Amino acid sequence: MRSFRLLASWRWCLLAVLAVGCAHSGASVPVESSPPVAERTSEHRKEEKVRKLMVLTGAEDTGKRMLDSMTQHFGEMSNIPPGFLEKFREVAGQESIVDLLVPVYMDHFSEEDLDAAIAFHESPAGKRFLAAQPVVMQEAMRLGEQWGLRLAEKTLRALAEEEREPRHQRVSSEGQQL
């Protein structure tokens, strides 16, 4: 069960990293074709707003904490090859999930949405909301892991119960044998 717990915990960490947002910020993602100057200016302004929102929400710091958590979980696994953790940190330092997520935010949020989100996160209520997020996220991860383990245990019990039942007693709701 310990390996399942590590796997479940690692999956929650990865999910949180992807959901929240980033390991660190870096250069913007290059654009393949050049749109008109006015559109580039608008897109550049929107990208700046996305990046500002990510800074306000602490996405960079959260990503770094999640990366640390992942490396800690990797360190607890017995089948990790020698040098993996060091190389993982090195590779993670060269890539920015922020750069991957900026286009996603740009596709799904209008400038108006970004402005509203920025205004909220700069407000006193938004700052309190953000201050509570690390604790909320930690508790949510703990509860999510417990929930996943509880569901896995229920599933294993249900499968074991089905195996103990004689085959001729397993009947569908229409009365047909399964």
Give 137-170 as a 3 state SS string: HHHHHHHHHHHHHHHHHHHHHHHHHHHHCCHHHC
Question: Who has greater pLDDT, 113 or 67?
Answer: 113
Q: Is residue 176 part of a domain?
A: no
- Is 169 a domain residue? no
Question: What's the pLDDT band for 23 if we cut at 50, 70, 90?
Answer: very low
Q: Answer for the pair 17, 137: CB distance below 8 angstroms, yes or no.
A: no
CB count within 10 Å of CB 97 equals 22
Top mean pLDDT of 33-37, 59-63, 89-93, 101-105 is at 101-105
Which range marks the domain in which residue 10 is found?
2-132
In the chain, the number of structural domains is 1
What one-letter code names the amino acid at 6? L
Euclidean distance between CA atoms 23 and 48, whole angstroms: 18
98 inside domain: yes
Better-predicted residue by pLDDT, 63 or 26: 63
Domain presence at residue 104 = yes
Domain for residue 153, yes or no?
no
- For CA atoms 50, 51, 52, 56, the dihedral sign is positive
Residue 43: inside a domain, yes or no? Answer: yes
